[in-house]
Amino acid sequence: LRIVPGKHTVPSATVRDTANSFGVHDTFRHGPRSLVVDANGRSAHQKRLDSWEETQDNLRLNLARNIFGMHAPMRQLMERKIVASSSHMPNISRSNIHLDILMGRDEILDVSDFFGSECPVLSVPKYRC
């Protein structure tokens, strides 16, 4: 059981952060991308902070497995997957409060709770021709 993220992690870089709806890096919105800078550009402390939530979630799932049995983490992961994949109506802001409750983030106030998931001033409008 790991309480904090490990010191040595393998650097990796993906285009998931800047991908458009087709799964390709969106150069117009995010500029040219260098995977070398993404993999090596952060400090060790920043890497540990980035993997903090994942490590804490794995700890909670392992503790639930040890206390209640294998069915508990499987059920939690199944419920999260079902709630995360729920469809939403277009042009209506999406707040996935159900997933926040299942992840245990319902009592935490974050910037996205006040300003939304993305800033409307900085986002590029999506036009359909």
| pLDDT, tens digit, 9 for 90 and up, residues 48-67 | 888 888 899 999 999 999 99
CA atoms of 117 and 105, how far apart (whole Å): 15
Domain ranges of the chain: 10-41, 44-83+97-104
8 A C-beta contact, residue 39 and residue 12? yes
pLDDT attached to residue 26: 74
Query: pTM higher than 0.85, yes or no?
Result: no
pLDDT attached to residue 129: 52
Q: What are phi and psi of 114, to 5 degrees?
A: -95, -40
CA atoms of 5 and 56, how far apart (whole Å): 8
8 A C-beta contact, residue 102 and residue 79? yes
CA atoms of 34 and 23, how far apart (whole Å): 17
Which residue stretches of the chain have pLDDT < 50? none
Q: Which of 60, 48, 59 is nearest to 102 (CA)?
A: 60
Question: Is residue 26 left, alpha or beta, with left meaning phi > 0 and alpha meaning psi from -120 to 50?
Answer: beta
pLDDT attached to residue 9: 60
